[in-house]
Amino acid sequence: MAEVRHKGRIALLAAAILIVFTGISVRLAFLHLKPEEWVREPIEEGRMMESKPAGNRGRIVDRNGEILAMDLSSYHVYADPKYIAGYGDIDAVCKYLALEFHVPEGEIRDMLSDPTRQYVRIKTYVPGNQLKRFKSKDYGVMYTPARLVNGVETNIYLRGVKLEEAPERNYPKGALMAHVVGFSNREGVGSAGVEQRMDDYLRGKEGLRVSKKDGRRREIYSTRTVDIAPEDGANVTLTLDQQLQYVVEKSIEKMCADFHAKAGWAIVQQVRTGEILAMASFPTYDLNRYGSAPVEWRRNRAISFNYEPGSTMKAGVVAAALDHGIVKENDMIDCENGYWVYGGKSLRDSHGMGVVSVADVIKHSSNIGTAKIAMQMGEQLLYDSLKSYHFGEHLGLDIPGEETGIFYSPKTWSKISITRIGMGQEISVTALQVLSMMDAIAYNGVQMKPMIIKKVTAPDGTVLEENQPEELGRPLSPSAARRMRKLLARVTEEGGTGTEAAVEGFAVGGKTGTAQKIRPASEGGGYYEKNFTSSFVGFLPVDNPEIGIIVVADDPGEYNESGRKIKYFGGTVCGPVFKEIAEFAVRYLRISPEGNRVYVAEPEL
């Protein structure tokens, strides 16, 4: 009887167990074959694999295709501490990564000490050619040490170590054209120069890949639902020429050293097209290490430094007076033997002269003579004439940082303003504006818009944008421009202030400038007695101008034993630099003394 009861209990227990396991089996089957949404969702999310491969940033090249900026293949080396703790060898990882990247082993161990983390960067932006000993594998990398182990090359599997593609911006020319090219930051965003202005074109487009991964976290290719390839950015071609730029940069660097100038800058421009062939500023910096350069060194002074131009402005004033029939070249002007008082204020010339022609006022750069010519013009005509060159405005150069300068209307002028503006005081300009004025005189009165971006092309070569020469205006008649060119040619002849800028075999037109620097209001206002901005701006050949050049030096000169400042005049400091640049340019660009260039066409007049 007892045996029967035991068998009944066993049967009942077996039935209960069977029912339980049957229920579990049914539930498991239901969950696997037709799971609830709340069950399926986290599982599917865990299996999803989404990546956004980045397209390379476009290249920046000079007018001849020389590469100035490009993306290099580089990688971030990272580790998964959680995976290493469970499946890897942390000792091997720390040892070999420390050996390869010259990082203390203890430092790497500290990085991997938190087993809850899944992403820790060990080394960032490592060039691809420095990772030849690493080969990506599932869940890690295969590493081949440089040293043989027992005379045999050994491969070591470092689980949990991965390589992440991270293109890095590189500037093969270093500091060359730094202020024009600019740089992009670590996030790939253009932050200065052409890199900033053309960022929308240069920046590549991200791709998108959506797929699923298996239990080993490998992609299941058959489940890939989205596969959009990344697109590389467009390439930007500049008007600048690498060879000419190099000569200009070296020339102004030497000028600053020879004449103890705080800074220097220069521009070379094609007269008829407005294309900038060279634009340099010193001090400069290496684009590959832009973060270590002082902010002031990164400033493109050729377009962002406002200064009073001094006597270079006389070219625009006298040209306007000739154009409006106020004076003629042979009209005589009393230069008061170098000292003149007007409106209770004195005005001096560096070299006293008596009664001389308008032509000699320009040749010898008389402040008094130019002031009297400006007075004959009257305030409104003087203002309108200079304003027609777009002083006080942007010229529309296609890189950031261009300043407008300062040029107030006559209603704000004092009684003596008309005598000072004519000689380049009470007006603030950029070097680009002064060169643009001089090039307009050179180009028969036609002022061209300055151009630094030649074209933008897609990776397949399709031209997306191409800039063409564009007129800004015609501030001067062709007749007056031709007459003014002849007067400016005398500046570089014997007896002129710009003889140091003369180029053998070529007729050079130009104008010197030596302007006292403004003393800030905090120091009492007015002008410094011994601090100057010196410059020379000109063009060649005179009869058929091809290129215009401006050279500017910030506070050059040295002091003699008596404390007198010497060697600071524009003709002395900047004239020789103009000559050096011009001599190379005419050879390199194959400009004849007559100015014959196959691609050049005269404007419609």
Q: Where are the alpha helices (DSSP H) in 198-273?
A: 199-202, 242-259
DSSP state, residue 411: G
Mean pLDDT, rounded, of the chain: 89
pLDDT tens per residue, range 69-128: 999 888 889 999 988 888 888 898 898 898 888 889 899 999 988 888 888 899 888 888
30: pLDDT confidence band, cut at 50, 70 and 90? low
Which residue ranges form the domains of the chain, and what is each CATH number? 46-71+170-211+221-238 (3.90.1310.10), 74-99+120-127+159-166 (no CATH), 242-588 (3.40.710.10)
**DSSP H or E stretch at residue 122:** strand 120-127
600: pLDDT confidence band, cut at 50, 70 and 90? very low
The edge-to-edge listing of strands for the beta sheet with 156-159 is 134-137, 140-143, 156-159
Q: What is the dihedral of CA 594, 600, 601, 605, to 10 degrees?
A: -70
Q: What is the dihedral of CA 18, 20, 24, 30, to 10 degrees?
A: 90
Amino acid at 110: D
200: pLDDT confidence band, cut at 50, 70 and 90? very high
Position of tokens 């029939």? 325
DSSP state, residue 334: E
601: pLDDT confidence band, cut at 50, 70 and 90? very low
The edge-to-edge listing of strands for the beta sheet with 120-127 is 120-127, 74-79, 161-165
> What is 459-524 written as a DSSP string?
TTS-EEEE----EEE--S-HHHHHHHHHHHHGGGSTTSTTGGG--TTS--EEEEEEEEEEPPGGGT
8 A C-beta contact, residue 377 and residue 324? yes
**DSSP H or E stretch at residue 126:** strand 120-127
8 A C-beta contact, residue 467 and residue 454? yes
DSSP state, residue 214: -
Is residue 602 over pLDDT 60?
no
Position of tokens 């400038």? 513
Mutual orientation of helices 367-377 and 314-323 as an angle, nearest 10°?
40
The pLDDT assigned to 272 comes to 96
Is residue 34 over pLDDT 70?
no
Q: Is the peptide bond before 283 cis (omega within 30 degrees of 0)?
A: yes
The pLDDT assigned to 342 comes to 93
Candidate from 151-160, 222-231, 259-268, 440-449 with smallest mean pLDDT: 222-231
Strand partners of residue 551: 266, 536
Measured at the alpha carbon of residue 488, what is the angle toward residues 378 and 482, in degrees to the nearest 5? Answer: 80
d(CA 573, CA 552): 9
The pLDDT assigned to 350 comes to 84
50: pLDDT confidence band, cut at 50, 70 and 90? low
Rounded percentage of the chain residues whose pLDDT exceeds 70: 87
Is residue 414 over pLDDT 70?
yes
Is residue 212 over pLDDT 80?
no
CB burial readout 483-521, b (16+ within 10 A) else e: bbbebbbbbbeeebbbbbbbbeebbbbbbbbbbbbbeee
d(CA 9, CA 28): 28
8 A C-beta contact, residue 114 and residue 84? no
Alpha-carbon radius of gyration of the chain:
36
DSSP state, residue 104: -
d(CA 164, CA 184): 20
d(CA 599, CA 456): 21
d(CA 79, CA 160): 5
Report the helix count and the strand count for the chain, using DSSP H and E: 19, 29
